[in-house]
Amino acid sequence: MPRDELKVSIIIKGDRIFLGTQATGCDPKMTTLQGNLQAALERIPAFVEEANRQWDAAPHNPKSTIPEPVEPVRTAAPAAGKPAAAQTSQTAQNKFF
């Protein structure tokens, strides 16, 4: 389904092209390709058609399911070669003032 409002972005750096498109209420679609401005302009109609098909199926990207990081387990064991009493008298950070 064609969208009422559509934004197309082209960024060219050397022979690399970034092509992006965004419609109201939909997540943006992006791609990169090789070439020049002419190559980018020729690719736009197919790229927009492909984006419209994807937006018709699902306007938003799926939610990420990356698990939360697990905090490492810390132990209170004394460092090797130092008695426990020496460790407690030392501060975590040196005081300069």
Sequence ranges of the domains in the chain: 6-57
pLDDT of residue 86: 52
pLDDT of residue 51: 94
35: region left, alpha or beta (phi > 0 left; psi from -120 to 50 alpha) = left
pLDDT of residue 70: 83
Summarised one tens digit per residue, pLDDT across range 39-90 is 999 999 999 999 999 999 999 888 878 888 888 777 776 666 555 555 555 5
Residue 18: other Cβ atoms inside 10 A: 14
Contact 88, 76 (CB under 8 A): no
Mean pLDDT of 2-23: 92
| Stronger pLDDT, 80 or 38, i.e. the higher one | 38
